[in-house]
Amino acid sequence: MKHIKTLNTKNLKNTMKKGGCGECQTSCQSACKTSCTVGNQSCENK
Amino acid sequence: MVHQYKNNGYNIVLDVNSGAIHVVDDLVYDVIALLCENASLDVSQYISDRTFENDLNNHLKGHYSREEIKEAIRDIKELVEDESLFTKDIYQEYIMDFKKRKTVVKALCLHIAHDCNLACKYCFAEEGEYHGKRAIMSYEVGKKALDFLIANSGNRKNLEVDFFGGEPLMNWQVVKDLVIYGREQEVIHDKKFRFTLTTNGVLLNEDILEFANQEMSNIVLSIDGRPEVHDYMRPFRNGKGSYELIIPKFIKTAERRNQTNYYVRGTFTHHNLDFSNDVLHLADLGFKQISVEPVVSADEEEYAIKKEDIPQIYEEYDKLAKEMIRREKEGNGFNFFHFMIDLEGGPCVAKRLSGCGSGTEYLAVTPWGDLYPCHQFVGEEGFLMGNVEEGVINTEIRDEFKLCNVYAKDKCKNCFARFYCSGGCAANSYKFHGSITDAYDVGCELQRKRIECAIMIKAALAE
């Protein structure tokens, strides 16, 4: 595409199939303890 | 839902529901702006409509050639068909069902010591005491907490235990003994404990460091940044600053952990709204894993971040983002926790929309074994959930937290950031509005800005 560059190809919809296993880290255990940040967390069920 | 913004010369389009992110030229940006104005219509239909052509001509005011416009529309249509632009939110029912499932406990925040050797002015734990008396957790209580976690974790293999305080190093022997106990138990029960430690560093020594480096999957080292900033907010009880004592220990810790699996973590306040300088101070000291976060406190506090501080904080985040790009390109980059975003391998949609797990998967344990929804609720007697011997007794609180998710919060419904913050912090919402299904508004504004910066950094580094 001439006018658009897409940064990521992942579609969140597809994660409904295998998602929700809960093995990933609890968001508050990482560093924050005062906010809720999940966008930077890794999936452990790839 | 589409969110688009300009930052640092990039036009960024975020298709919220699919998670797709596009960097576009001015023409496409302008066309999408028109489509957003008409987002209540069926976009695929509207784009093929005659009205669209008229609207577009009025909107673009002859700035682009017909051929260019045709091309741009072709590109946009392709994305819509490919389900990466103007996609629908199809997750509400899925998340509601997901939240109703039987939950297990997978993480505990152990309040190893309700006591502290510092007297930080912004401490939500009130110098470690959490609205109560000084106390330390006994080995017996800690053991029961780990037993409770194992017994309530169902099939979950990875279990997390954070040694928190107050200052956990004031009760280090119990921490060590609990790690040893945990390692025995994980073999018996086929579990894997991930221990983490949050410390102010005052008592950190060679023995502690050696043990922690073997056993702790993450260490959070509390430091606010520049010496004067740190010492002003994080003094000893006699008023003396703590920077000088802790900094060499933190540098050593980071090096010994190969600059990974740790964070130097600071808090910025109204007094250092130029906090990008604190982040860069830490980076200049060689730290590669940095988190500096806004204080959350009542407006009456002199150090509180207020609504009128937001424009300056935005400028600081922008400044920091640009400097991080520059350093990354020079091969001298570092991670800033709130700008970290995983566009390809990030969490599933269930994780993104279902909240942090407080009160259900994640609980805090007081030194005497009481259970609370999270560390920030400790001391709020209305949120006492049970104890490590009897388990969760107040199931009403658990059920309230269980249903707390993005779709339970009105403020999240039209917010593009909801897939990145999971609806925000329940404790902050409660502190400012008396309800866990509201949102802490200043926090939301800052969260949105951080996400915009984080995505811009990705766009810049993808060039």
What is d(CA B451, CA B18) in angstroms, rounded to the nearest whole number? 16
- Report the pLDDT averaged over residues B133-158: 96
Instruction: State the average pLDDT for chain B.
Output: 94
Note the pTM of the prediction, 2 decimals: 0.95
Identify which of B94, B265, B354 has the shortest CB distance to residue A16: B94
Identify which of B25, B194, B376 has the shortest CB distance to residue A3: B25
Cβ-based neighbour number of residue B210 at 10 Å: 11
Does ipTM surpass 0.90 in this model?
Answer: yes
Question: Using an 8 Å Cβ cutoff, are B278 and B226 in contact?
Answer: yes
Check whether A23 has a pLDDT greater than 90: no
- pLDDT-derived band at A46, boundaries 50, 70, 90: low
Question: Using an 8 Å Cβ cutoff, are B92 and B412 in contact?
Answer: no
Question: Using an 8 Å Cβ cutoff, are B457 and B317 in contact?
Answer: no
Question: Using an 8 Å Cβ cutoff, are B47 and B76 in contact?
Answer: yes
Place of tokens 């430690």: B197
User: What is residue B299's predicted lDDT score, i.e. its pLDDT?
Assistant: 92
Residue of B nearest to A17 (CA): B348
Residue of A nearest to B335 (CA): A40
User: What is residue B409's predicted lDDT score, i.e. its pLDDT?
Assistant: 92
Contacts of A26 in chain B (CB under 8 A): 106-107, 160, 356-357, 361-362
Check whether A5 has a pLDDT greater than 80: yes
Identify which of B25, B156, B375 has the shortest CB distance to residue A23: B156
User: What is residue B99's predicted lDDT score, i.e. its pLDDT?
Assistant: 81
Q: Which two tokens stand for residue B205?
A: 């020594």
Amino acid making up residue B280: L
- Lowest-confidence pick of B47-51, B288-292, B322-326: B47-51
Assess B196–A contact: CB distance below 8 Å, yes or no: yes
Residue A22 to residue B443, Cβ atoms within 8 A: no
- pLDDT-derived band at B133, boundaries 50, 70, 90: confident
Question: Using an 8 Å Cβ cutoff, are B28 and A4 in contact?
Answer: yes
A42 min Cα distance to partner chain B (Å): 5
Q: Is B446 exposed, middle or buried (0-12, 13-18, 19+ CB in 10 A)?
A: buried
User: What is residue B39's predicted lDDT score, i.e. its pLDDT?
Assistant: 81
Contacts of B454 in chain A (CB under 8 A): 39-40
Is the link from the previous residue into B166 a cis peptide, with omega within 30 of 0? yes
Residue-wise burial string across B36-59, b where 16 or more C-beta atoms lie within 10 A, e elsewhere: eeeeeeebeebbeeeebeebbeee
Distances (CA, A) of B282 to B240, B271, B371, B449, B450: 21, 18, 35, 22, 19
User: What is residue A9's predicted lDDT score, i.e. its pLDDT?
Assistant: 76
Specify the pairing of strand B2-7 against strand B10-15: antiparallel
Residue of B nearest to A1 (CA): B75
Mutate to test the interface with B, among A12, A16, A40 (most CBs of B within 10 A): A12
pLDDT in tens, B60-117: 988 899 999 999 999 999 999 999 999 999 999 898 888 888 889 999 999 999 999 9
Domain boundaries, chain B: 2-88
User: Nearest Cα to B12, choosing from B325, B453, B348?
Assistant: B453
- Report the pLDDT averaged over residues B14-37: 96
Check whether B413 has a pLDDT greater than 80: yes
pLDDT in tens, B196-247: 999 999 999 999 999 999 999 999 999 999 999 999 999 999 999 999 999 9
User: What is residue B373's predicted lDDT score, i.e. its pLDDT?
Assistant: 96
User: What is residue A41's predicted lDDT score, i.e. its pLDDT?
Assistant: 81
Question: pLDDT exceeding 70 applies to what percent of chain B?
Answer: 100
